[in-house]
Amino acid sequence: MNPILSLLLWIILSCAGFIVSLLPRPVEIKTGKILGRFLLFIGGYRKRIAVENINRCLPELSPSEREELLQKNFEHYGILALELLHMFSPFPGHYLKYVRKISSVEGLENWQKAHKQGHGVLFISAHLANWEIMAVIAALNGVPVTIITRQLKPAWLDKKITSLRSLAGCGSAYKDQRLTAVLKGLRNQKSIGFVLDQYIAPPAGIAVKFFTAQVHTLGVFGLFSKRTKAPIVPVFQTRDEKGVIHVVFEPAINPDEIPEDTKDFTQALSLKVEGWIRKNPAQWLWVHRRFKNATWENQELPATP
């Protein structure tokens, strides 16, 4: 990134981080919704992606229901943006205190039971509510988690985010280190976190049904679990009306429960993620280009509201 633009970004994020640090949570929620509606009004490329994804994936909704979902979805992005800005607060220790204040953990005993098997744990999750807070609150509750992520630019931004995760006890591994990080982490009884709602090109990605599409999804979990004996713990998160982010650890899937057919198991995981999203569609990342090269059951789009 251009050094001047990098400096400008630092100034903007630092100022915004100072401001959100002072906001009471109810005010932050209301402000985030207003910001989200403004982003929706501006529209643009990401709005078009969200509209197409919602139309194709949820054709059973009426035009008015899709329009309502789109507005709530963008309100979620506004709230999410303000939550992420807390990472740039100038007050020492603020972000971790903020995470503890606005989140709760449920089903931690499911992870503890899986961890006691002594082979490490594989987490699968999705871009629901605030996935950054999910990883950090898990680490703050004693989960030795490492997340597979992308390297951010500029370099200072990546360093900032990584250091905050590290303060909580959450490690980061970049996608080009994926295999090494997973194997090393599991040998050291770490818990490795993946999101399963991203497009992954072949051969790592295999085509399975997700909503009304056949789309490539990371298909190595069954194989990894069987070869390493690491159980798989599904974990999702949702934000309630008061702004509390509930992180829920579901019962583990043990290696001996996983079918030999990799595609069948990946399909089952994909349907699980879809189920999470259907329960709380307004808080998923509909603006993401999840459906690259997808084959749709119905090629005709419903009318756009």
What stretch of H or E contains 80? helix 63-85
Q: What is the pLDDT of residue 305?
A: 43
Tokens 């390493």 — which residue?
228
How far apart are the C-alpha atoms of 131 and 175, rounded to whole Å? 17
Could you state, in order of their start, the residue ranges of all structural domains in the chain?
Answer: 3-296
Where residue 238 falls among pLDDT bands split at 50, 70, 90? Answer: very high
Task: Give the C-alpha separation, 212 to 196, whole Å.
Answer: 17
Block residue for tokens 């056949």: 214
Give dist(CA 167, CA 14) in Å, integer: 19
| 13: three-class secondary structure by DSSP | helix
User: What is the SS3 assignment for 253?
Assistant: strand
Sequence-distant (≥ 6) Cβ neighbours of residue 104 within 8 angstroms:
244, 245, 246, 247
Residues 164-202: tens digit of each pLDDT: 999 999 988 876 666 787 888 899 899 999 999 999 999
The beta-strand segments (E) located in the chain are: 103-106, 121-125, 145-149, 171-174, 191-195, 205-210, 213-218, 232-239, 245-249, 295-296
Q: Residue ranges of the alpha helices (H) in 126-250?
A: 131-140, 155-168, 178-187, 221-228
Contacts of 222 (CB under 8 A, 6+ apart): 258, 259, 262, 265, 266
**How does pLDDT run across 98-116, given as a tens digit for each residue?**
999 999 999 999 999 999 9
Top pLDDT among 171 and 128 is at: 128
pLDDT classification of 303: cutoffs 50, 70, 90: very low
**Cα 98 from chain centroid (whole Å):** 19
Most distant CA pair in the chain: distance in Å? Answer: 55
pLDDT, tens digit (0-9, with 9 covering 90-100), for 1-29: 788 899 999 999 999 999 999 999 999 99
Give the Cα separation of 156 and 154 in Å (integer).
Answer: 6
Six-digit token pair at 225? 């679990």
Q: Is residue 56's pLDDT more than 90?
A: yes
Quote the mean pLDDT of the chain: 92
String of DSSP letters for 40-59: HHH--HHHHHHHHHHHHH-T
As a whole number, mean pLDDT of residues 273-290 equals: 97
Q: What phi and psi, each to the nearest 5 degrees, are found at residue 213?
A: -130, 155
pTM: 0.93
Confidence of residue 206 (pLDDT cuts 50, 70, 90): very high
- Distance, CA of 143 to CA of 145 (rounded, Å): 6
| N-to-C CA span, the chain | 38
Please state, for a pLDDT cut of 90, what percent of the chain lies above it.
80
